[in-house]
Amino acid sequence: MNEYITIARISKSHGIEGELKAKILSDNPKRFNRLKQCYVQFDDGSYKSFEIAESRVSGEYWNFKFKGFDTPESVEVFSSRDVFILRQNVQPLPEGHYYPFDLEGCQVSENGVVLGTVTELLMHAGNDVLYIERSDDAGKKKEPIMIPMAKQFVKAIDIAAKTIDVITIPGMVPNDED
């Protein structure tokens, strides 16, 4: 399980004093006003911690400054990189609510038969939808399944075991006998 959770994607420097502009990827933009530290991943796979000197939210963007970086040239290294926090610092959700990163990677089954693995949670107005990738016994990809995160389809979620039990209806799972 990854200990780092993506919360924003840096687009570019902003202004002449080393400020950065990032697209917010979190559904909790208020977190950015309180954030004192975050992490950035570099090309070698390492994560480095940075102290936040200034921060403000502007719509779906976060403008911020790292302590010790005071020019546009000094922050060029951060362009197009993701911003992370530690998993342990994620706000707890009410029971029955899940972060997309907790659902991704879960094995989905119906009556003990594995259907596939959640690779994404699609956010829709009515219901969020589990995007489930499938493959046959030889590893060949099959057509994905999309199952709404609704009580009539999702019977049980066990984040610790990374499993989701579902009930499907005719037409929900493609017929693979071609």
Q: Which domains does the chain have, with CATH numbers?
A: 4-89 (2.40.30.60), 100-166 (2.30.30.240)
pLDDT (0 to 100) of residue 177: 57
**C-alpha radius of gyration, the chain, whole number:** 20
- Asked whether 174 and 142 are in contact (CB, 8 A), the reply is yes
Tokens 């699609």 appear where?
122
- At 103, which helix (H) or strand (E)? helix 100-103
pLDDT (0 to 100) of residue 49: 96
pLDDT (0 to 100) of residue 54: 93
pLDDT (0 to 100) of residue 136: 81
Residue-wise pLDDT tens for the chain (178 aa)? 578 999 999 998 888 999 999 999 877 788 888 899 999 999 999 999 999 999 999 989 999 999 999 999 999 999 999 999 998 888 888 888 888 888 999 999 999 999 999 999 988 878 899 999 998 878 888 999 999 999 999 999 999 999 999 999 998 888 765 4
pTM score, whole prediction: 0.70
pLDDT (0 to 100) of residue 43: 92
Tokens 């929900």 appear where?
172
Helix (H/G/I), strand (E/B), else coil: 88: helix
- Asked whether 51 and 69 are in contact (CB, 8 A), the reply is no
